[in-house]
Amino acid sequence: MTSRRPGRPAPEAVTTVPGRRATSVEPTIHLPSTLGPSRSFDPAWCLVADPDPDDARITESLFCLADGVVGTRGVREEDPRPAVRPVTASCLYEPASVVSERPMPVPTWLALPIAPELPVGRRVLDLRDGLLIRDVSGPGGRLRSARFACADSPGTSVFVSEVDPVLVHMDLDDPGPHVGHAEQASPLGGGVALATSTTWRPSDSQPGGPVTIERLASYAVSARSAPTAAAATRLLQPSVQLGPAALLTRQRTTWSQRWSDGDVEIVGDIDATLAVRASLFHLISSATRRGEAAISARGLTGPGYAGHVFWDTDAFVVPVLSAVDPRAARAALEYRIRRLEPARRRAARHGHNGARFPWESASTGEDVTPKSGVDHNGRTTVITTGDLEEHVTSVVAWSAWNYACWHGGWGFLEGPGRPLLLETARYWASRLCCDREGVAHIDGVSGPDEYHGDVDDNAFTNLMARWNLRRGAELLDRIGTDGGEAADWRAGAEALADQYDARSGRYEQFAGYDALEPLKIADIGTPPINADVVLGPVRLSRSQIIKQADVLMAHFLIPDGVADGSLLPNLDHYLPRTAHGSSLSPGVHATLLARAGRPDEALALFRLAASIDLGDRTGGTAEGLHMANLGGMWHAVVRGFVGLTAPNLGDRVLALAPHLPDGWEEIRIRFRWRRARIALRCRRDAVHVACDRPITVTIHGVRAKVEPPGRWVG
C-alpha cells in the first residue's frame, strides 16, 4: 500500500523549541484606538510572526481565526489573491469526483483596498482573546490593525484598522456604511451567504491623520440548503449595532471563560506552555457548540486532506473537548450520530450488520477517501486506506464512551449515543470469522501503521473491536433489550485473536510482522522521516519499520483493554521502529513514555510534537494545522505528565500519577469533569487540587477527598 500524500522528507535538523515565540518583542501591543488601550505582550500567550515571504502560508495556518462555523486564515487583509483560499466553512463541500468531496469555495470577507504597498510587518496572535494584531510602518505610511472571529457569535468577524490616508485606495468622502453581499451554493445542497458592512472615518483630532476603517462580516452557513443574503444580513445586524469595541469586550469575556474551563501552564517552560495553549486555542476554535461539528483533520485552518474528517477527530480531538468544552465534544459526536445511516448502508454493502464508519468522511457520511493519489516521483498510486482502515468504527464508539465518562454519563449512552456503541459492536460481531479451533480473526485490514496494508489480525484493530464488543454488551445489559446479543458479543470478544505473547509481554502488530526484515529507524535516519521515500514502498512493507503508533494506540486509548504490564515491553520494542511519519505519532509516544515514568524521554517527543506545526517540522503546515497533533500535545501533558485518568462510568475517583521532566517545576491544568470545574497544580512532591464541588482523587494510588475550594494533597 502506498501512503496518500508523501510530502517532502523531513529536514535533518532537530529543533527542540517551537519556532514562533519571539524572544524580543516590545512589551506593549498597540491596538487601533477604537478597540481600547494598548495591552502588554505576554510570551506565554502570544504567537509572533516576523515577515518572511517564504513561510507566509505557514503563518496563515498558524494565525487562522475560526469560530467553529468559518475559519479565516491569517492572510493580510489587503491580499486580493492569496495562494490558499482564506475562508473555509464547516461541513460545506462540493463534489470532487464521482466518489469524493472537497471544501466548497467560500467568498472572502477581507480583501480591503488598503496598503498594497506595505509589507506585512510583525504580527501577534494573542491567544487570550483570539485577537490578530498587526502594526507596520513602511515608506508609504503606517497601519495598525486588529481582527477577530467572534467566539460568542459564530460566523461573525471583525476587522479594525488605523491607516495613513495615503494608503487607503477608496473614496474617503463617503464614509458608509458600505454594504456588501455574496452567496455561493453547493451542488450537494448546502451553501453560504456573506454580508459585510464597512465604514471609514478620518481622524477627528489630527487633519490628515490616520483613517479608521471598520469592517464587520457575517456568514450564514448551512450544509443542507443555501442561505440567502437576507439571512446573513440578519446575523450581521446585532453586531453592527454593538460595534467593534463592544464586540471585543464580549470576545474577552467568552475566551476568559474558555481559558478558565480548560488551560495548561507549565511553570519553567514558556515554549511548552505556548505550544499547548496554541493547540487548545485552535482545537476549541474549530468546533461549533450547536448542532453538529464536523472537525476535519486540519480543522478550519487550511485545505489539507480536502477538509475530510478522519479518526483523528474521534481519537485525539473529541477527548480534549470532552475535558474542556463538553458542548463542542457533544456536537462532534452529533456529526457521527447524524451519519449512522450511510454507515449502516456501508456495512450492509459488505454483507455485515450494524454500522461501519468511513475512513474519510465529509458531508454525506459516505466514504470519500480518494481511490488514487500521486507519489513523490509523480506516479499515480492506488489508495487503499478507505477500504482497509476499519478501526475508525471502534474509535467512534470509544469516543462516545469516553465522552460519557467525562460528562454525558449513562444518559448519553442510553439515549442519543446508544447506536454509536451498539451498531458498531454489531458490525464487529458480524465481521469476525472463526477458524476451526474457535479462534476469531479479522482479516484484510490496515492498522494505523499505513506502511503495512492488507494484513490479518492487526492487534490494534482486534483489541479495539474486542473493547467495542464488551462495552456494547455492557450497554445492552443496562438497557435490558438483549435477545442473546450481549452473550454473542462477549463470546466474540473472548474468541478474538489479539497477537499477545505472554512471555515477552508484547503484541505482534499483525500476523507475520515479526518475520519481516528487522530494520530499526536508526538504520535509515532520524525521525520524523518519510520512510516510504527512503526505502521505497516494497522494501518498506517487508520491513518492521512502522509509520506511527499502532499496537501502542491500544495502550493510549484503552489501557484497561491491554495486558497488565505490557506497556513497557511494547514501548521498548516499537518506538525504535517508528518513523513518526504521521503527525499523530509523537504525542501518543510522549503520553505513554510519561505514563511509564520516563518523563525526560517523553519531553523529547512532546517537543517534536510541538515543532510539527509551530516549526513546520514535516512541511505540511501550509495546508493547515494538524488537529490530531494539537490534541496529542494536550494528551501528553494531561494524560501523560499529569497522569490524569477520568474514571469509568459508575466510578467516581479521578486518578493522578504525575511525572515531571527536568526543568518543569509545576504543571497547572484546568478542566471540567462531570459537573465540576477543577484546577490542578502538580509538583514533584505534592498536588494542589482546586474544585467547585467535592471530589475524590488518588495520587499515585493514595486516596484523598477534597472539598471546595481545595487544598494541597500529598
Rounded to a whole number of angstroms, the minimum distance from the CB of residue 556 to ligand IFM is 13
68 binds ligand IFM (CB under 6 A): no
Q: How far is the CB of 518 from ligand IFM (least distance, A)?
A: 24
Q: Which of 87, 297, 317, 400 binds ligand IFM (CB under 6 A)?
A: 297
Report, in Å, the least distance between residue 305 CB and ligand IFM: 6
Task: Name the DSSP letter for residue 578.
Answer: B
Q: What share of the chain is helix, strand, coil (3-state, %, to 5)?
A: 35, 20, 40
Q: What distance in Å separates the CA atoms of residue 329 and residue 286, rounded to the nearest whole number?
A: 11
Closest listed residue to residue 178, CA positions, set 134, 231, 133, 112: 112
Identify the active-site residue in 101, 360, 423, 450: 450
> DSSP per residue over 206-260, as a string?
STT-PEEEEEEEEEEEESSSPPPHHHHHHHHHHHHHHHHHHHHHHHHHHHHHHHH
Residue 305 touches ligand IFM, criterion: CB under 6 A: yes
Assign 380 to helix, strand or coil.
Answer: strand
**In angstroms, what is the minimal distance from the CB of 642 to ligand IFM?**
25
**Which of helix, strand or coil describes residue 446?**
coil
Q: Can residue 459 be called a binding residue for ligand IFM (CB under 6 A)?
A: no
What residues between 621 and 640 interact with ligand IFM by CB under 6 A? 628
Q: CA nearest 31: which of 117, 158, 157, 152?
A: 158
The least distance separating ligand IFM from the CB of residue 686, rounded to whole angstroms, comes to 38
Q: Of the listed pieces 285-293, 307-315, 514-522, 556-564, which binds ligand IFM according to CB under 6 A?
A: 307-315
Contacting range for ligand IFM; rule: CB under 6 A; set: 274-282, 286-294, 303-311, 667-675: 303-311
Choose the stretch contacting ligand IFM; rule: CB under 6 A; options: 199-207, 306-314, 399-407, 658-666. Answer: 306-314
Paired strand residues for 421: none
Position 137: which residue type?
A: S
The answer to whether 556 contacts ligand IFM (rule: CB under 6 A) is: no
Which region among 168-176, 308-316, 416-424, 656-664 touches ligand IFM (by CB under 6 A)?
Answer: 308-316
Residue 312 interacting with ligand IFM (CB under 6 A): yes
Which of 357, 330, 307, 300 has the alpha carbon at shortest distance from 130?
A: 300
In whole angstroms, the minimum distance from the beta carbon of 450 to ligand IFM comes to 6
What is the phi/psi pair of residue 343, to 5°?
Answer: -70, -35
Q: Determine, following the binding rule CB under 6 A, whether residue 458 of this chain makes contact with ligand IFM.
A: no
Interface with ligand IFM includes 398 (CB under 6 A)?
A: no
Q: Is 533 helix (H, G, I), strand (E, B) or coil?
A: helix
The rounded distance, in Å, linking the Cα atoms of 283 and 588 is 17
Of 119 and 386, the one with the shorter C-beta distance to ligand IFM is 386
Segment contacting ligand IFM by CB under 6 A, of 202-210, 310-318, 557-565, 605-613: 310-318
Among 74, 210, 408, 448, binds ligand IFM (CB under 6 A): 448
d(CA 246, CA 244) in angstroms, rounded, equals: 6
SS3 readout for 485-512: HHHHHHHHHHHECCCEECCCCEECCCCC
311 contacts ligand IFM (rule: CB under 6 A): yes
Q: CA distances (Å), 324 to each of 291, 318, 453, 479, in order?
A: 18, 10, 36, 29
Q: Does 278 bind ligand IFM (CB under 6 A)?
A: no
User: Is 78 known to be catalytic?
Assistant: no
Cα–Cα dist 326/408, whole Å: 9
* Residues sharing a CB contact under 8 Å with residue 466, sequence separation 6 or more, in sequence order: 493, 496, 498, 561
CA distance 606 to 592: 11
Q: Does 582 bind ligand IFM (CB under 6 A)?
A: yes
Q: What character string, x for contact with ligand IFM (CB under 6 A) and - otherwise, covers 210-249?
A: ----------------------------------------
Cβ 28 to ligand IFM shortest distance, Å: 39
- Match 482497509 to its residue by C-alpha cell: 388
Q: Least distance (Å) from ligand IFM to the CB of residue 323?
A: 21
Q: Residues touching ligand IFM: how many (CB under 6 A)?
A: 10
Q: Report if residue 310 touches ligand IFM, rule: CB under 6 A.
A: yes
Catalytic residues: 450
Footprint on this chain of ligand IFM (rule: CB under 6 A): 297, 305, 310-312, 448, 450, 582, 584, 628
